[in-house]
Amino acid sequence: MLSFIRRFWNGRCDMTKRIMKYNPAFLTDEELLRSFAVRQTDFDIIMRIIRENTTNVNQHVLVIGPRGIGKTTLLLRIGLEARTAIDLNNKWYPLVFAEESYSICSVGEFWLEALFHVAQQTGDKKWKRIIEELNDEKDDKRLGERALAKLMDFADSQRKRLLLIVENFNMLFDGQISEQDAWSLRHTLINEPRIMLMASATSRMDQVDNSGSAMYELFKQHDLKPLEKDECIAVWEAVTGQHLEDDRIRPIQILTGGNPRLLSIISSFGSKLSFQDLMGDLLNLVDDNTEYFKSHLDNLPPIERKAYLALAELWDPAPAKDIAQLARLDVNKTSSLMARLVNRGAVKVSEQSKRTKLYQTTERMYNIYYLMRKRGAPSERVKAVVNFMVSFYGHDELIDVTRKIVEEACALEPEQCKDHIFTYEAILSKISSHDLRHRIACSTPRKFTELSKLCCPGDEQSKSELIKKGSINKRKYKDDNTKLAALYRKIKKNPEDCESLAEIGELSAKLGHYSEAEVAINKLLVIRPDCPKAWVTLAELLSEAPNRHDEAEKAYQKTLELQPDNEYAWAKFGRFLHIKLNRYEEAEQAYRKAIDIKHDNHWAWEQLGRLHEWLKHFEEAEHAYKMAIKADENCEIVWQLLGALLRDKLNKPEEATQAYIRATHISLETIKDNPESPFAINSIAWTLYKCDDDTSLRQAEEWIIKAIALMPEESMFQHTYACILSALDKGTEALHPAQKYLSDTQLVSEYIEDTIDLFAGLTAAGGGKQALDMLIKSTLAAKVEPLIVGIKLYLGEELQVATEILEIAKDVRERIQSMRDKINDRKKVKMIAKPGRGRKQ
């Protein structure tokens, strides 16, 4: 039923943007510049060092970071800048070594490798002959002297200093060159101003950090840190051409550990998926990149691999003792292996504990890969964390889908609406968020509710209640397949029955029979190629099909060619450009075209507001929402959107409150026909709760008490009550309804997002210890581990858990603190409002 609702990240990747995930050295200069989306600060710092290297002693640089963190791209970008910048080109000649220098086993071969790149970059046969001659030199010391002399001859001929860019510099000191050669290399780098070494390593090197080693204090060490959220957004945009908001990039940042290479992989995989689909297809992601992930493991010696896999199995930061026990190894041996793995950059020492040295895998995505694939079945713990992330970070918007169904129904006769009502119910039955269900219900006009009564006489109360609750159970309406069969019989008798073909197309789409729907619409277009309604129906159908957005766009364009004044088609085209293609400027133009045709098109204004809010054009969004309200002042959802914008983005709390009050009044109007409907009353309480001011919260408390009096066993009402009490800082009172809600295991498991908000609010209201106890003892504990850890962090406990869980938990803690801050702010407002407080009377 809902497979056609894929509303997010379905834009097309610009395939001209070639991002090499594994070897950026294959990029052209233009592609390298375009792909260099982050690390600008690191780039600027190192370029400043290069520009300041003008004396007889150069400052050499060692860039440190695990694989995939962006070392290669950064160094290549530095080399490109040294080669092309006007102020550097006449001073520096960059020589970029291969990513792995396996053939270098002496200092002589190091200088010979530099000459090889001279020959390669210049294309001068003279240097190729020199290399051939030097290859015949058997004495390593003589080779070093002769090769270095030739290299200096080249520098003098160019009248430039040489910038040697050497990756994986740590490999040279892992048994490839001798200690004597290391000291020889140091002597040259200190005394030869014509050479600067720009090197990289996967981890800090003992040869650089230890005072008795050849490389000690030779380098300015520059650590590359994991990417921050804004940098992750920049990488996502570079790969997909799409913008991603903070709350949607955060789980991806956690999954990848801020590693640009892994972020590039997951971006290219997930660019056409919603966040829910991306998380659900995590197993496919690791399958598609098995070669990359396996290479991480295959490069380790067997005994190190054994210790590494034991650590991966534990997932949480672990001491050598626990790793040794799982790997069946000696503890001292395991400590030594961990030290080696740290030097390789495969493992790092966790910063979570100061008392005991705890280890964890560096590449967190690999750890997830291993747990997802161990014994052929995904780890239940990983699955639970992924599901939690979907609930905590993911925000579905099905409002537009249901609005379309409702608008079509309202334009039809009552007897033609049963299919629309059935589909509406099916969609709402899938939604896991109480707030989202409420918003959809609030956006449903009274006319649709009245139509549902006419379609189902005798069932008015239950229907009204279920719509307001937003979790309607399916009814037995007329058999749609029977109706479809009847239409096909009509077509068999009259193949050119356009009305029947149109009905087949629409009904088949609603039933999920998309190929049949397309066939019917195409047959109709053969008969009536100038039918705008058929073209727009086809466009909407194709827009929901994967990889057919080009066809959908052409269908929309054909519709508008035939009927340029069709404001509905312009608005839908704008929504398609906005949501599916992420072509925001064109989307705005389409919305405005719809508005030009019909200025009071409230849906077009609302969508324009949503677009502006997405683009963070908050003042423009405010104007659009207000115009939508002017066109339809009884549209509760727009009042709510305006209230949230004014409160959360524009810092206009008084105006936000007024918007929420207006939304509440509209909600109150909906229960006039049925004042004893507990679900409608709960809806009013929830709307008042979202107003988030003290007066509204107290009114919300009164309303929810009425709803509970009418239906005391309804668990969702207990959830609403607990949320309201928590917001009023009545944590102790909120414990009882929270426990009653938690006892409904089926409901709680289905609505994880609501559960997170409830227990975060309960903790903010001072009930953290009791909330924690409730959750730990419940059957839900395994599903909400990050919530439990987040509450523990808020309560000041020290923990050692998997990095992914800890990062999510930190965000949970921030949400709790934000809720606490709001409680305190409301108290301050209340104190100020009380006259004479704190003064002598």
Domains of the chain: 39-223 (3.40.50.300), 248-395 (1.10.10.10), 396-478 (no CATH), 731-833 (no CATH)
Q: Which of 191-195, 200-204, 315-319, 473-477 has maximum average pLDDT?
A: 191-195
The structure tokens 């949230």 sit at 644
The structure tokens 């002297």 sit at 145
DSSP for residue 220: E
Element containing residue 347 per DSSP (H, E): strand 347-349
Three-class SS state of 739: helix
pLDDT at residue 773 is higher than 70: yes
Neighbours of 626 (CB within 10 A): 15
- Contact yes or no for 120/129 (Cβ under 8 A): no
163 - beta bridge partners? Answer: 94, 196
Task: Encode pLDDT of 515-527 as tens digits.
Answer: 777 888 888 888 8
Per-chain mean pLDDT for the chain: 79
Rounded to whole angstroms, what are the CA distances from 416 to 413, 452, 477, 508, 551? 5, 11, 12, 15, 30
Handedness of CA 547, 549, 551, 555 (dihedral sign): positive
- Contact yes or no for 372/382 (Cβ under 8 A): yes
The band of 237, judged by pLDDT with boundaries at 50, 70 and 90, is confident
More confident residue, 44 or 436: 44
> Distance between CA atoms of 593 and 608, rounded to whole angstroms?
11
pLDDT at residue 380 is higher than 80: no
> Distance between CA atoms of 684 and 682, rounded to whole angstroms?
5
Least confident of 3-17, 269-283, 298-312, 632-646: 3-17
Give me the pLDDT at residue 444, please. 64
Overall average pLDDT of the 276-290 stretch: 56
Three-class SS state of 92: strand
pLDDT at residue 406 is higher than 70: no
Sheet of strand 219-223: strand arrangement = 92-96, 161-166, 195-201, 60-64, 219-223
Rounded to whole angstroms, what are the CA distances from 736 to 186, 479, 682, 730? 71, 45, 18, 11
Query: What do you get for the CA distance between the two ends of the chain, in Å?
Result: 67
> Distance between CA atoms of 260 and 258, rounded to whole angstroms?
6
Amino acid at 617: H
Give me the pLDDT at residue 2, please. 27
> Distance between CA atoms of 189 and 204, rounded to whole angstroms?
20
Q: Which of 418-432, 473-487, 665-679, 754-768 has maximum average pLDDT?
A: 754-768
Q: What's the half-sphere exposure (Cβ side, CA atoms, 13 Å) at 444?
A: 32
Give me the pLDDT at residue 363, please. 73
pLDDT at residue 586 is higher than 70: yes
- Contact yes or no for 123/91 (Cβ under 8 A): no
Give me the pLDDT at residue 839, please. 35
pLDDT at residue 421 is higher than 70: no
Element containing residue 311 per DSSP (H, E): helix 302-314
Between CA 261 and CA 263, with CA 262 as vertex, the angle to 5 degrees is 90
Least confident of 46-50, 237-241, 466-470, 628-632: 466-470
Give me the pLDDT at residue 414, please. 61
> Distance between CA atoms of 778 and 740, rounded to whole angstroms?
12
For 141-167, letters b (16+ CB in 10 Å) and e give eebbbbbbebbbebbeeeebbbbbbbb
- Contact yes or no for 251/273 (Cβ under 8 A): no
Amino acid at 723: C
Neighbours of 365 (CB within 10 A): 26
For 46-73, letters b (16+ CB in 10 Å) and e give bbebbeebeeeebebbbbbbbbbbbbbb
pTM: 0.56
Rounded to the nearest 5 percent, the helix, strand and coil shares of the chain are: 70, 5, 30
Give me the pLDDT at residue 798, please. 82
More confident residue, 6 or 120: 120
φ and ψ of 605, to 5 deg: -65, -45
> Which has the closest alpha carbon to 760: 715, 701, 811?
811
Q: Which two tokens stand for residue 529?
A: 């190629």
The band of 790, judged by pLDDT with boundaries at 50, 70 and 90, is very high
Overall average pLDDT of the 14-30 stretch: 58
Q: Which of 28-42, 476-490, 814-828 has maximum average pLDDT?
A: 814-828
Overall average pLDDT of the 534-538 stretch: 85
Residues in the chain: 841
> Distance between CA atoms of 701 and 721, rounded to whole angstroms?
7
Three-class SS state of 392: helix
- Which residues lie closer than 8 Å to 500 by C-beta, 6 or more apart? 487, 490, 491, 494
φ and ψ of 617, to 5 deg: -95, 75
> Which has the closest alpha carbon to 248: 283, 288, 276, 284?
276
Q: What's the half-sphere exposure (Cβ side, CA atoms, 13 Å) at 348?
A: 18
> Distance between CA atoms of 56 and 193, rounded to whole angstroms?
5
Handedness of CA 99, 102, 108, 113 (dihedral sign): negative
pLDDT at residue 221 is higher than 90: yes
> Which has the closest alpha carbon to 308: 330, 324, 289, 284?
324
Amino acid at 385: V
Q: What's the half-sphere exposure (Cβ side, CA atoms, 13 Å) at 673?
A: 13
φ and ψ of 652, to 5 deg: -120, 70
Amino acid at 626: K
pLDDT at residue 166 is higher than 90: yes
594 - beta bridge partners? Answer: none
pLDDT at residue 681 is higher than 60: yes
- Contact yes or no for 144/108 (Cβ under 8 A): yes
Give me the pLDDT at residue 458, please. 39
pLDDT at residue 419 is higher than 60: no
More confident residue, 506 or 733: 733
Three-class SS state of 62: strand
More confident residue, 788 or 537: 788
pLDDT at residue 440 is higher than 90: no
Give me the pLDDT at residue 479, please. 52
H-type alpha helices, 431-562: 434-442, 446-455, 460-469, 480-493, 498-510, 514-527, 532-543, 549-562
Mode of pairing for the β-strands spanning 60-64 and 195-201: parallel
> Distance between CA atoms of 468 and 475, rounded to whole angstroms?
16
Q: Which two tokens stand for residue 491?
A: 């077509």
Give me the pLDDT at residue 557, please. 94
359 - beta bridge partners? Answer: 318, 349
The band of 462, judged by pLDDT with boundaries at 50, 70 and 90, is very low
The structure tokens 């001068």 sit at 124
The structure tokens 């008015």 sit at 460
Three-class SS state of 217: coil
The band of 637, judged by pLDDT with boundaries at 50, 70 and 90, is confident
- Return the percentage of the chain with pLDDT > 70, whole number: 76
Task: Encode pLDDT of 105-160 as tens digits.
Answer: 899 999 999 999 999 899 888 998 998 899 888 888 999 999 999 999 999 999 99
- Return the percentage of the chain with pLDDT > 90, whole number: 34
